[in-house]
Amino acid sequence: MEYNIDLKNFTTFGVSANAKKFATFSTEEEARNLTKNNNEALLILGGGSNVLLTQDFNGLVLKNEIKGISIIEKNNVTVVLKVGAGEEWHNFVLHTIENGYFGIENMSLIPGSVGASPMQNIGAYGVEIKDVFEKLEALEIETGEIHTFTKEACAFGYRESVFKHALKGKFIITHVYFHLSLVEKISTKYGAIEQELLKNGISNPTSKDVSNAVIAIRSSKLPNPKDLGNAGSFFKNPVVPIKLYNKIRETFSNVPSYPIDENSVKVPAGWLIESAGWKGKKIGACGVHVNQALVLVNYGGATGNDILNLSTEIIENVYQKFGIVLEREVNIL
Ligand SMILES: Cc1cc2nc3c(=O)[nH]c(=O)nc-3n(C[C@H](O)[C@H](O)[C@H](O)COP(=O)(O)OP(=O)(O)OC[C@H]3O[C@@H](n4cnc5c(N)ncnc54)[C@H](O)[C@@H]3O)c2cc1C
């Protein structure tokens, strides 16, 4: 156990915040022992790529380092893998590609840990973890018991799961099981993957080619947290009633949308923020990224509250302009 640790290097926003107590665990048993007699606030951290610390954490911060990738089942068409929650997501993706398992190559280069991936049902380029999710194991903090959660029990939605709502703060995810395909299954239709492959003269891509294309596109669009503090998309893309969408279109004929159902559409939050004039705006030490309006950045020395206040201004301004309330994707602490 360590005391009074600055969490600056433990989240990708790189903001300072003091943790009263800090420890890591690499087994379920260690996690159980650390939480058994704890009566203070508890924060579980993976890679810290989806949290914004706005104040000191007056309790115990536990960093998950449970490692290991093992085969649980394999037949001619599918493999089921059990993965330690502390494995780095991108390393896991690379492992699957090297071993000829298909299904998550489109989610290359998403920062963070495997254990946090079900928290918000991470996704990119047309794939979400719910598509390859088998089950997970999690330690119930109150009892120290391990529970298994099926896909249904996780109640996955767009950047959502039961762990962000009814079970928030109650479980530590220790292992995640994925079912992947042994039969070649490549999806290049989403975003700019196909163009990127063609640019490189690839017409019959392998999963490694798709992964490389995703890495190239992401690296060109998104700031690397090692260079510029950020947590990826700060806001979710809002689902908007069709009536409101049509009203917005009367003034902004180019507003993009993706169909959800007959009554609603999804509108890209990045477009709303950019159209409200925020792209590239810098306020003090933080701002809206110059290339991607969905990403708020810490230019160095911003506090969590600076970034939170900026996000509030954006939410209010977008509401005034379009009548749409943006919701934060990042976990605010
Ligand atoms: C540059 C960049 C790009 C990104 N792109 C994407 C993207 O394309 N798609 C996408 O979906 N996300 C994206 N993200 C967001 C982020 O990568 C994911 O949300 C990721 O899953 C967070 O993992 P983490 O280990 O860093 O979680 P953390 O930030 O450490 O934690 C996130 C939340 O989960 C909780 N938590 C973490 N681990 C556990 C556990 N084992 N048990 C219980 N609770 C836990 C934490 O308490 C916290 O509430 C991006 C982030 C960045 C910085």
Say which of 49, 117, 233, 311 is annotated catalytic.
233
**Is the Cβ atom of 120 under 6 angstroms away from ligand 1?**
yes
pLDDT in tens, 176-201: 999 999 999 899 998 899 999 999 99
Question: What residue ranges define each of the domains in the chain, with the CATH number in brackets?
Answer: 2-64 (3.30.43.10), 69-181 (3.30.465.10), 229-332 (3.90.78.10)
188: phi then psi, degrees, rounded to nearest 5 = -115, 5
329 is catalytic: yes
Q: What is the pTM of this model?
A: 0.96
Question: Cα separation of 98 and 114, whole Å?
Answer: 18
Closest CA to ligand 1's atom 2 = 232
pLDDT in tens, 113-168: 999 999 999 999 999 999 999 999 999 999 999 999 999 999 999 999 999 999 99
Distances (CA, A) of 295 to 102, 222, 272, 279, 314: 29, 8, 13, 9, 12
Question: Residues 122, 124, 128, CA angle at the centre, nearest 5°?
Answer: 50
**Is the Cβ atom of 205 under 6 angstroms away from ligand 1?**
no
Mutate to test the pocket of ligand 1, among 13, 44, 49 (most ligand atoms within 8 A of CB): 49
In the structure encoding, which two tokens stand for residue 105, read together?
């190559």
Say which of 28, 159, 161, 311 is annotated catalytic.
159
328 is catalytic: no
Please answer whether residues 280 and 287 qualify as being in contact, where contact means their C-beta atoms are separated by less than 8 angstroms. Answer: yes
Which pairs with CB-CB distance under 8 Å and at least 24 residues apart come from 274-280? 275/321, 275/322, 276/314, 276/317, 276/318, 276/321, 276/322, 278/314, 278/317
Q: What is the pLDDT along the chain (333 residues), one digit of tens a residue?
A: 999 999 999 999 999 999 999 999 999 999 999 999 899 999 999 999 999 999 999 999 999 999 999 999 999 999 999 999 999 999 999 999 999 999 999 999 999 999 999 999 999 999 999 999 999 999 999 999 999 999 999 999 999 999 999 999 999 999 999 999 999 989 999 889 999 999 999 999 999 999 999 999 999 999 999 999 999 999 999 999 999 999 999 999 999 999 999 999 999 999 999 999 999 999 999 999 999 999 999 999 999 999 999 999 999 999 999 999 999 999 999
> 116 CA to middle of ligand 1, Å?
5
Residue whose pair of structure tokens reads 């993957």 in the numeric block: 193
316 is catalytic: no
